[in-house]
Amino acid sequence: MKYMLLFFLLFSSVSSMAQGQTKSLPENVVITSKKNKTQVRTNENGELLINVSPKDVLKFKANGLVRYSDFGARGDGKTDDIDAIAAAHAFANQHGLSVKADEGFTYYISGKNRTAVIQTDTDFGTAAFIIEDTHVQNRDVPVFLVSSGMRPFKPEGITSLKRNQEKIDVSLPGTCIVTVTNSHVKRYIRFGPNQNSGSSQTDIFIVDKSGNVDMDAPIIWDFDQITDIIALPIDEATLTITGGRFTTIANSAVSKYTYYNRGIAIRRSNVLVNGLEHRITGEGDHGAPYGGFINVSDCSYVTVRNTILTGHKTYQTIGSAGVSVSMGTYDISLTKALNVSFVNCSQTNDIKDGRYWGILGSNYCKNLVYDNCSFSRFDAHMGVANATIRNSTLGHQGINAIGSGTFIVENSTIYGSNLINLRSDYGSTWQGEILIRNCTFVPAGGRPISASLIGGSYSGQHDFGYICYMPERITIENLLIDDSKHPADYKGPSIFANFNPKMTDDSYLEKFPYVRTREVILRNVTITSGKTLRLSDNPFMFKDVKVNTD
């Protein structure tokens, strides 16, 4: 059987304690409880064979936790401890026990094809973890996988959906996160050096047991048909991961888009990560990119607090258009994730150092928050619905996004080339509103540049798979633009960049018309250079925008 647990319990007291707690294990893990000593080994098929003596079963359950050393971890920084770590979590998951790293230990984790599955509270404490990526058997396999004990399923009878639909005719076992796909419709048809033919229309949202959709993260597409639908029950209790001092010894693979996903993959809703640190060593003049040390996907209500991460060195490769491109490489990656917050987080390297790529990339997300963070970048590739950046500092790559809903930036300092850049490779689209309050914008980190608040580019000649919008309304209150260092011919900052230099009169025809901003509200904008805030270097394109300075 795919999920089989082998328990041979010799004592009736142990047997009775184990009843009612059986959970399925990964197919490559087998747990037994024989009279022999507790030990962990692998067989010729790579299966992890765990034997826990009946005496130790009683002890671990009485303590309410297990340690990695209980399963043979040496913690000397040299011996490969991944099997012992995976075994400790497998046993803890089976019995609902927490896991605690051994204080003062340094765990070495090789490139072995093994994942430790976390389903219970885990305290990494001040223990150190060295993750060796120079010889990896499977770069797609995470070191840790935070997963739910509940299984996904396919809801029946849902054949179509409408944007902003409030209720679905379905009965669920409880509140679920639902992912739907229509493979016959392509969205996010990328333009530029990394051009592609788009991705299947995808949406993710939360539905309660009666079929009510959580309208804080609404359905954003019309689905005339559904080719796939998956529901995963949301765990009600919060799973907490605390501490840990992780160091990745970086790969030195060929610089191409072969992403390494060797970190902590979170696939369970209601997770708190608190006090973790991740550093990187061994980066040379080439290497493959990373898909996020913290990789969050297919879940909701994830919070990362008091955590220190590291930006990866930027490497070059040849993109799909046949020209050289800088490869995106991340320490944080979010995909199909809802209600994810980073609170009081920072990175080890200088957020204004252009040698290191922006720390976050995201796709198909809703309700993302930075609060009191110092990061090199916020980025939403294939759309975010609603985002908030507050009390934060954003470095050399600034704020890059496309999506919908409300984007709020407040009490923050931005060092990007634009205050907000609407990504041109996805149509510079934001269907909704932007609010900027009590912020400081230092264009290009203080380098001489002609500053624009809202950046982007749109020719009107490419089909992105959707209508492209500029924010319907942009509200800017109490903004300081520090443009004291600027070019000699500087005319002053503009609200909008020159999105289309070819559109200078009515003779220019857009095959795919851009829906432009209706209103900009400006209140208390201070400009260090003493220049006046202009509309754009291309006033024709924005001639119908109403600028309200009341």
Domain boundary assignment for the chain: 12-132, 133-149+235-388, 151-234, 417-550
φ and ψ at residue 259, rounded to 5 degrees? -70, 140
pLDDT at 15: 31
Q: In whole angstroms, what is the distance from residue 131 CA to residue 264 CA? A: 11
Answer for the pair 340, 365: CB distance below 8 angstroms, yes or no. Answer: yes
Average pLDDT value for residue range 366-384: 97
With a cut of 50, say whether residue 461 has pLDDT above it.
Answer: yes
Question: Nearest CA to 334 among 377, 370, 307, 363?
Answer: 363
pLDDT at 23: 53
Q: In whole angstroms, what is the distance from residue 259 CA to residue 366 CA? A: 24
Percentage of the residues of the chain whose pLDDT score is greater than 90: 92
Question: Nearest CA to 273 among 361, 332, 329, 328?
Answer: 332
Q: In whole angstroms, what is the distance from residue 11 CA to residue 138 CA? A: 40
With a cut of 90, say whether residue 18 has pLDDT above it.
Answer: no
Question: Nearest CA to 494 among 468, 533, 466, 437?
Answer: 533
> Over the chain, what is the mean pLDDT?
93
Q: In whole angstroms, what is the distance from residue 2 CA to residue 18 CA? A: 21
Residue 40: beta bridge partners?
A: 50
Answer for the pair 176, 234: CB distance below 8 angstroms, yes or no. Answer: yes
Answer for the pair 206, 214: CB distance below 8 angstroms, yes or no. Answer: yes
Average pLDDT value for residue range 393-413: 97
Q: In whole angstroms, what is the distance from residue 383 CA to residue 300 CA? A: 16
Helix count and strand count (H, E) for the chain: 3, 35
CA distances from 400 to 394, 395, 422, 474, 531 (A): 11, 12, 6, 16, 26
pLDDT at 299: 97
Q: In whole angstroms, what is the distance from residue 398 CA to residue 157 CA? A: 44
pLDDT at 11: 30
With a cut of 70, say whether residue 2 has pLDDT above it.
Answer: no
pLDDT at 28: 87
pLDDT digits (tens, 9 = 90+) for 131-188: 999 999 999 999 999 999 999 999 999 999 999 999 999 999 999 999 999 999 999 9
Q: In whole angstroms, what is the distance from residue 264 CA to residue 386 CA? A: 25
The encoded tokens of residue 510 equal 């857009």
pLDDT digits (tens, 9 = 90+) for 36-72: 899 999 998 889 999 999 999 999 999 999 999 999 9
pLDDT at 25: 67
The encoded tokens of residue 442 equal 């230092």
Q: How many residues does the chain have?
A: 550
Q: In whole angstroms, what is the distance from residue 504 CA to residue 508 CA? A: 7
Tokens 């609060």 appear where?
A: 371
pLDDT digits (tens, 9 = 90+) for 218-236: 999 999 999 999 999 999 9
With a cut of 70, say whether residue 1 has pLDDT above it.
Answer: no
Q: In whole angstroms, what is the distance from residue 33 CA to residue 51 CA? A: 5
Q: In whole angstroms, what is the distance from residue 265 CA to residue 150 CA? A: 17
pLDDT digits (tens, 9 = 90+) for 117-128: 999 999 999 999
pLDDT digits (tens, 9 = 90+) for 68-124: 999 999 999 999 999 999 999 999 999 999 999 999 999 999 999 999 999 999 999
pLDDT at 19: 28
Strands 176-187 and 271-274 come out as unpaired
Average pLDDT value for residue range 354-383: 96
The encoded tokens of residue 431 equal 């269907």
469 — pLDDT class (breaks 50, 70, 90): very high
546 — pLDDT class (breaks 50, 70, 90): very high
pLDDT digits (tens, 9 = 90+) for 278-324: 999 999 999 999 999 999 999 999 999 999 999 999 999 999 889 99
pLDDT at 24: 57
In the three-class reduction of DSSP (H, G, I as helix; E, B as strand; rest coil), residue 425 is classed as helix
